[in-house]
Amino acid sequence: MSSQFYTRRDFIKAAGLGATFLAMSGSLKRSLGMDLINSAIPNTLGFEAATLMSPKKPNIVLIMADDMGYSDIGCYGGEIRTPNLNELAAGGLRFTQFYNTARCCPTRASLMTGLYQHQAGVGHMMNDRGFPGYRGDLNNHCVTIAEVLKLAGYSTYMSGKWHVTRFRGPDGPKHNWPRQRGFDRFFGTIHGAGSFYDPCSLTRGNTQIPPGSDDFYYTNAIADNAATYIREHESENPFFMYVAFTAPHWPMHALPEDIARYKGRYAQGWDALRTERHKRMIEMGIVDEKWELTPRDERVPPWEKAEEKEWFQRRMEVYAAMVDCLDQGVGRIVEQLKKSGQFEDTLIFFLADNGGCAEEYGSRGAVKPDPSKDIPLKPMDKDELQPDMQPKVTRDGRPVRTGRGVMPGPADTYIAYGRPWANASNTPFRLYKHWVHEGGISTPLIAHWPARITARNELRRQPGHLIDIMATCVDVAGAEYPSEYKGNKITPAEGRSLVPAFDNRPIEREAIFWEHEGNRAVRQGEWKLVSRHPGRWELYDMEADRTELTNLAQKYPEKVEQLKALYESWAARCGVQPWPIKKK
């Protein structure tokens, strides 16, 4: 008989361990279970203990970074210290051609539902533009991964950034908050950005809360709550956990000990950093040596001509520290999986929601508030909720400063790391978050699952998209994607399971599509048709030129027309509107 038809409980009973083992707490079962099975089962059923102890359905942990570039982490060519992500990559797979949607909330809507973002109601941002695809709120014709996996017996947890509903106030509608969209437990923020020391819309369950401690730092809180969910998971059911970090999205906030690790690391500037990363990526096989490094963004000066170098260095030092801290949090999550005996049978994904961000939030103009003026500010009460994305004042009464020259890191600053460093984050590609050239939509994807993925430290070059994560979760969980849910007809899923790629087989599909703020693209095989709004279509051969430097549109007009027709058919089917959208 085949072990795939039996649960862990079946084998325990068959081994004669029965009530004694089943009465133990979940954590004790996990710590003692292998020894008990090893001693009993070989004399009863004759199966390998490791096979018998593999649960029928794996746990799934989906981890996402915010505004992180393709080349930032160590296992994708970066210099930032990410030993925990590097270890996951070494023990599993790295996808080199995986894609997001180029922007935070559309990505989250697509990731959670397995649909293109317009189909889920989040075609742009968190505002209602009057069209079904642009409500700024998940619609009731989609289901989340949590909702689907709950139907398959999973416990469901979330820690971190939600950002798929325009209703974020403590007293407003909560129909699209995590607890109402399939998650058993939730800690995080409903809004999309905020201070790392005092986040806007911080929430536990359905109740908004203040930070609660003087040493609160959001990246650590996200990781620690995720680890707590694992530790407190007592059910024999598997679990799905979504961990959505806000690092390294602006503002550049990081702890002093993490910033200190990067002091002076970026003194050579962004040009040297891009060259250094590109060389390392070629050596790793992440990019092909025939793909030329894109020229420095024309709006970015050469490093030797940059002014205020100390300020620029500090911005990147803090950014690197934020990624470093995120990696430390991943390490604590992994450690808790190991302590609870669930690491081997847990599928872990790690990815980013868009490319590096060129926004210069808070980094232009004079310092505000004016430091030469006496500005009386009242400290916030410890129980007061933070309603603002950018706080006006720290909890202890210091004004929150923006402006050119403000040294980021502490709670009383609020600025981005800026275009020059985003250009380096997206090495070797063009453009950034917002745009659908490769710099805006390319993400690392690490897949780690020792019980199923036998490959170690291998690359997968099959193109994939966020829509594939839902399909993969449904596949490995033995779940069923519903055609109807809570009385509503559900839009059929768009993605393809990545399981074939685990074994280095192709992912069969017609094409992958993108649209954001009028920026459009379609990829079919090695061909990509892309347009930067309001520009014309450009055509690239992704096998020969993934850095998109040689536009072949004039050379292959028939291919342009073929892919354009595919795009227009998709856009009509998914409710994409011409940009700029005029609200009804």
Q: pLDDT digit of tens for each residue in the chain (584 aa)? A: 232 323 333 333 344 444 443 344 444 444 343 333 333 333 322 223 333 334 479 999 999 999 999 999 999 999 999 999 999 999 999 999 999 999 999 999 999 999 999 999 999 999 999 999 999 999 999 999 999 999 999 999 999 999 999 999 999 999 999 999 999 999 999 999 999 999 999 999 999 999 999 999 999 999 999 999 999 998 889 999 999 999 999 999 999 999 999 999 999 999 999 999 999 999 999 999 999 999 999 999 999 999 999 999 999 999 999 999 999 999 999 999 999 999 999 999 999 999 999 999 999 999 999 877 867 688 999 999 999 999 999 999 999 999 999 999 999 999 999 999 999 999 999 999 999 999 999 999 999 999 999 999 999 999 999 999 999 999 999 999 999 999 999 999 999 999 999 999 999 999 999 999 999 999 999 999 999 999 999 999 999 999 999 999 999 999 999 999 999 999 999 999 999 998 76
Cβ contact 550:539 at 8 Å? no
Q: Which residue is listed with tokens 């970026």?
A: 266
Distance (Å, whole) CA 112 – CA 146: 8
User: Tokens in use for 569?
Assistant: 């058919």
Q: What is the pLDDT of residue 56?
A: 72
Q: What is the pLDDT of residue 43?
A: 32
Q: What is the pLDDT of residue 348?
A: 98
Q: What is the pLDDT of residue 51?
A: 31
Q: What is the pLDDT of residue 13?
A: 38
Distance (Å, whole) CA 511 – CA 514: 10
Distance (Å, whole) CA 297 – CA 431: 8
Distance (Å, whole) CA 145 – CA 109: 11
Q: Which residue is listed with tokens 């993400």?
A: 443
Compute, in degrees rounded to 10, the torsion defined by CA atoms 467, 434, 403, 307. 120
Distance (Å, whole) CA 79 – CA 76: 9
Q: What is the pLDDT of residue 583?
A: 75
pTM beyond 0.85: the answer is yes
Distance (Å, whole) CA 474 – CA 58: 11
Pairing of strands 346-352, 442-448: antiparallel
Distance (Å, whole) CA 439 – CA 102: 9
Q: Which amino acid is at 501?
A: A
Cβ contact 517:124 at 8 Å? yes
Q: What is the pLDDT of residue 512?
A: 98
Distance (Å, whole) CA 230 – CA 388: 31
Distance (Å, whole) CA 400 – CA 168: 22
CA dihedral for 292, 286, 542, 566, sign (positive or negative): negative
Instruction: Return the DSSP state at 217.
Output: -
Distance (Å, whole) CA 148 – CA 106: 20
